Copies of this chain bind each other. A is one copy, B any other.
Amino acid sequence: MARWEPDSRSRLEQAAFALYAERGFDHTTVAEIAKRAGLTERTFFRHFADKREVLFAGSGALQDLLASTVVDAPEGLAPIDAVAAAIEAAGAQLEERRERARQRQAVIAANAELRERELIKLASLASALAEALRRRGVSDPAASLTAEAGIAIFRIAVERWVDETNERSLPELIRESLEQLRAVTAGH
Q: Tell me the A residues contacting B by CB distance below 8 Å.
A: 78-81, 116, 119-120, 123, 141-142, 144-146, 148-149, 152-153, 155-156, 159-160, 177-178, 180-188
- Kindly list chain B residues whose C-beta atoms are within 8 Å of the C-beta of A80: 184-187
Complex Cα distance, B79 from A183, in Å, reads: 11
- Kindly list chain B residues whose C-beta atoms are within 8 Å of the C-beta of A79: 184
A-B contact pairs, 12 of them (CB 8 A): A78-B184, A78-B187, A79-B184, A116-B116, A119-B123, A142-B183, A142-B184, A144-B156, A148-B148, A149-B181, A181-B185, A185-B185
Q: Are B188 and A145 closer than 8 Å at their CB atoms?
A: no
Q: Distance in Å from the Cβ of A155 to the closest Cβ of chain B? A: 7
